[in-house]
Structure 1
Amino acid sequence: MMLSRRTALMAGIGLAAPLAAPRVVRAQPWPGRAIRVTVPYSPGGGTDVFTRVLAEGLHGVLGQSLIIENRIGANGVVGSQAVSRAEPDGYNLAVVTNTHTMNRYAMPSVPFDAVADFTPITLLSRFPMVLAVSGTTGVRDLPGLIAYGKANPGRLSFGSSEAATSYAGNEFARQAGLKMEEIAYRGGAPLMNDVVAGNLPVGWTSILSAGPYFTNERVRILAVTTRDRSALLPDVPSVREAGLPDYEFAGWYGMLGPAGLSPQIAETMNAAIVKAMAIPQYETRFRELGADMKTLGPRDFAAHLRAENSRWNEAAKAGLIKPLQ
């Protein structure tokens, strides 16, 4: 049978059959699978414990597991570097401390920019450092420590374990007008062991690291570094309250993603964190860890990181952060 000219032309240009509908690719809602969270510090440490509690709460809010990976090395640099190089898809995040911004001023080189190479998500909590003295010193309070240091110039040393405690001790010595030799330790545990043994007169460490020594008669916690007292040590004054009114310093935990992370993902995770931390059972556990529960979202956390970076730059120029060996 002969085809009409019109039918033949339509068949020749592929119009005889219906056109296929265009394929629509829809973005998968985040999170669609487990999220890996890097902790650049040892298992069982303060950052690790805090992050694991947070992960429990976030599992119920997000409906996805958070896999905690401890990547240890170079004062937190190894783990942070891995996240800085990860895909910015929301499935590779990190929980860091204030050493994240301090490291570039305490180390010969750091293979990333602590501000530009990351996306701020949430400042999770601030926490105090503590000033601990050995019971062998006979010192019972901060004015007594300052008086002892002035009466014995050059005989009073202090221990530090990373950039944050180095700054805490050096800034205290500067404001108190004391000459104190700094002794660097590889961690808070060996530092506190030497304080207990009487081998180190003064040590600076985080309130979580000092926790096991709160009731040890061979150690006295003289002060906390934050502006106000800590709920964990309500009878211990702040440094400023005990005699140095211009002294204030706080450590912090914060969640970051790689640079280029979607603002929507950052905001979604921040909202989930705020919700998880408000769940009564987790709020109680966070407060037991010394958390102040005062979070900052992506925009305010970004401003905080920039301010921290400027502060440590000036501190390093003034010699208040001892270079790590």
Structure 2
Amino acid sequence: MHLRPIRVALAALVLWSGAAGSAWADYPDKPIRLVVPYAAGGGVDNISRVVATELGARLKQSVVIENRGGANGNIGTEYVARAAPDGYTVLMGATYLGFNRATMANLPYDAAKDLQPVARTGRAPFVLVVPATTAIHDVAGLVAWMKANPDKASYGAVGAGSPTNLLFPQNTGTKPVQVLYKGGSAALPDLLAGRLTFMIPTASEVVPLVESGKLRALAVTGSERFHRLPDVPTMGEAGVPNLELIGWWGMFAPAGTPQPAVKKLSDAIQAVMAQPNVIEALNKLGVEAAPMPTQAFTAFYNQELKTYADVARQFGLKVE
């Protein structure tokens, strides 16, 4: 006797689902804003511009870059986290999301709850580099020099709690002095001049300097060698364990963005990142095209958040 109400309810559900799907059939029907939480000309911005051009062509709508820099990415990220979840305001996020959440207190957004991972775009390892003028040619030589010269060893860092920067001294039994900078571009001149012993920035920041002979790469993070530096060993190969974190970039939408919009963006990004011209353009920037669709990227992102949180607890890094 209850079959008729059930059938009516099911029919209504089917009609509602169809209407919801058809409402997004024409998405996007206006330009999409891709917020870059850093200034123009930096690594995140350069990668975003490569992706935006081809993504716009594929979606048949403009993807407009909007730079909202400041507070180590937090200003632009908060803007997207608070934006309408309609698929028309998205973020080019990166490794900083995990780092900031783990080390900064009282952030105005929660990177785990306020953002919807859409798709990963690229990745690059961190690279241990020293000035090319130094007599140090490998990791063992660097470690030996730092142990022999503990009062002279130093490294440049952007943010006090970068896990790679903290784990490398711990895992090698060294105690270099950390020198903080507002950005990699501010630190590199001191490294080139020999005022710093080493740095461990992302490959996209230093590959051109390594290839031009101004810096010497001693090792890369990750579980495999980097294609732009095939002769440079991984940290593991160089005898330094547990340094497999890599830098990455990916697109995020505000939490609550409808899944049809998320899927359409993700599918388009997968196609764009497979294009030879995009792969080549990113390669020139020292970045490997490494797309991940929404589900895989979400799992990857959640693991990244956990890893950064674990390191922050290990070193007592939460900043008030």
**What TM-score do the two structures reach when normalised by structure 2?**
0.87
CA gap of 1:62–1:218, structure 2 versus 1, over 3 A, is closer
Which of residues 115, 121, 128 is equivalent to 1:131? Answer: 128
- Please state how far the C-alpha of 1:136 moved relative to its aligned partner: 5.0
Matched, 1:87 2:84: yes
Which of residues 237, 240, 244 is equivalent to 1:244? Answer: 240
Listed one character per residue, the Cα deviations across residues 31-81 of structure 1 (whole Å, up to 9, x for unaligned) are 001100001012111111111111111122110110001100110000000
* 2:299 aligned partner: 303
Which structure is larger by alpha-carbon Rg, 1 or 2? 1
- Please state how far the C-alpha of 1:154 moved relative to its aligned partner: 4.3
CA gap of 1:185–1:113, structure 2 versus 1, over 3 A, is same
* 1:211 aligned partner: 207
**Is the partner of 1:315 in helix, strand or coil?**
helix
CA gap of 1:170–1:213, structure 2 versus 1, over 3 A, is same
Which of residues 178, 185, 191 is equivalent to 1:182? Answer: 178
- Please state how far the C-alpha of 1:115 moved relative to its aligned partner: 1.1
**Is the partner of 1:214 in helix, strand or coil?**
helix
Q: Match for 1:193: what amino acid?
A: P
The question of whether the paired residues in 2 share the 8 Å contact of 1:168 and 1:204 is answered with yes
Matched, 1:140 2:155: no
CA–CA separation in structure 1 for the residues paired with 2:149 and 2:136: 13
Which of residues 285, 297, 316 is equivalent to 2:281? Answer: 285
**Is the partner of 1:94 in helix, strand or coil?**
strand
Q: Match for 2:171: what amino acid?
A: Q
Q: Between the two proteins, what is the percent identity of the paired residues?
A: 36
- Please state how far the C-alpha of 1:108 moved relative to its aligned partner: 3.5
What aligned pairs does 1:209-288 form with structure 2 within 5 A after superposition?
Answer: 209-288=205-284
Q: Match for 2:263: what amino acid?
A: E
RMSD: 2.1
Stretches of structure 2 that go unaligned for 5 or more consecutive residues are 1-18
CA–CA separation in structure 1 for the residues paired with 2:199 and 2:212: 15
CA–CA separation in structure 1 for the residues paired with 2:101 and 2:223: 26
Number of equivalences: 300
Which of residues 116, 119, 135 is equivalent to 2:113? Answer: 116
**Is the partner of 1:316 in helix, strand or coil?**
helix
* 1:167 aligned partner: 163
CA–CA separation in structure 2 for the residues paired with 1:121 and 1:246: 28
**Is the partner of 2:208 in helix, strand or coil?**
helix
* 1:6 aligned partner: none
CA–CA separation in structure 2 for the residues paired with 1:38 and 1:289: 20
Q: Match for 1:71: what amino acid?
A: R
**What TM-score do the two structures reach when normalised by structure 1?**
0.86
Stretches of structure 1 that go unaligned for 5 or more consecutive residues are 1-23
Matched, 1:200 2:191: no
* 1:54 aligned partner: 51
- Please state how far the C-alpha of 1:141 moved relative to its aligned partner: 1.0
CA–CA separation in structure 2 for the residues paired with 1:117 and 1:234: 38
The question of whether the paired residues in 2 share the 8 Å contact of 1:125 and 1:252 is answered with yes
The question of whether the paired residues in 2 share the 8 Å contact of 1:107 and 1:323 is answered with yes
Which of residues 19, 31, 34 is equivalent to 1:34? Answer: 31
* 1:78 aligned partner: 75
Q: Match for 2:287: what amino acid?
A: A
CA gap of 1:83–1:163, structure 2 versus 1, over 3 A, is farther
**Is the partner of 1:294 in helix, strand or coil?**
strand
The question of whether the paired residues in 1 share the 8 Å contact of 2:220 and 2:234 is answered with yes
* 1:45 aligned partner: 42
- Please state how far the C-alpha of 1:216 moved relative to its aligned partner: 4.7
